[in-house]
Amino acid sequence: MENADYVTFGGIGLITAIICGKWAMELGYRQSRQLLWMIAGFLVAPLPLLALYNGLLRRRRAEGKLAGAQW
């Protein structure tokens, strides 16, 4: 792999880590759990994002704030 490939993969990992941390914060997790979600997002990007996204959807559905297409 070239150096540009490492930078690209590192950038994707950093972006997913930031998103995981933000979504964990929105779900009301403690700061230590937010950090763990960020680390998981950096290491195995798609899996924690999927878990947190499902949590956000469940929370918004319970609050009645789920917007989007109604099938």
Burial class from Cβ neighbours inside 10 Å (0-12, 13-18, 19+) for residue 5 reads: exposed
User: For 21-68, how does the pLDDT look when each residue is reduced to its tens digit (9 = 90+)?
Assistant: 888 998 898 999 989 988 888 888 788 888 888 888 888 888 887 666
Q: Are 42 and 14 in contact (CB under 8 A)?
A: yes
pLDDT for residue 71: 58
The model's pTM: 0.71
User: Does residue 69 surpass a pLDDT of 60?
Assistant: no
Instruction: For 20-61, give the DSSP string.
Output: HHHHHHHTT--HHHHHHHHHHHHHSTHHHHHHHHHHHHHHHH
CA 42 to chain CA centroid, nearest Å: 10
